[in-house]
Amino acid sequence: MIERACDVADLGVILGIWAHPDDEAYLSGGLMAMARDSGSRVVCVTATCGELGTGDPVEWPPHRLAAARARELARCLEILRVGEHHWLGYRDGQCAQVSRSEAVARLCDVIERVRPDTVLTFGPDGITGHPDHQAVSAWTTAAFGRAASPGARLLYATFAERRAPRWSALNESLGIFPPGYPITTPAHLLAVDLVLDAETAARKVRALAAQETQTSELIAGMGVDCFTAWVGDESFAEPRAQRLSGSSEVPLDRLPSQLEEGDPAGDRRR
Domain coordinates in residue numbering, the chain: 8-267
pLDDT more than 70, % of the chain = 89
Answer whether residue 66 shows pLDDT above 80.
Answer: yes
> Model confidence at 153, in pLDDT bands (50, 70, 90)?
very high
CA 270/CA 223 separation, integer angstroms:
20
| Residues in the chain, total | 270
Greater confidence, 169 or 254? Answer: 169
> What's the mean pLDDT when you consider all of the chain?
91
Answer whether residue 260 shows pLDDT above 80.
Answer: no
Answer whether residue 65 shows pLDDT above 90.
Answer: yes
Answer whether residue 265 shows pLDDT above 80.
Answer: no
DSSP symbols for 214-238 = HHHHHHHHH-HHHHHHHTSEEEEE-
How much is the pLDDT for 255?
A: 34
How much is the pLDDT for 245?
A: 55
How much is the pLDDT for 150?
A: 97
pLDDT tens by residue, 230-253 = 999 999 999 986 665 544 443 333
DSSP assignment letter at 57: T
pLDDT more than 90, % of the chain = 85
Q: Give me the mean pLDDT over the 152-181 stretch.
A: 93
How much is the pLDDT for 175?
A: 86
pLDDT tens by residue, 99-117 = 999 999 999 999 999 999 9
114 closest CA partner among 16, 255, 249: 16
CATH of domain 8-267: 3.40.50.10320
Give the pTM: 0.89
pLDDT tens by residue, 117-152 = 999 999 999 999 999 999 999 999 999 999 999 999
How much is the pLDDT for 244?
A: 58
H or E stretch covering 25: helix 23-37
DSSP assignment letter at 83: -
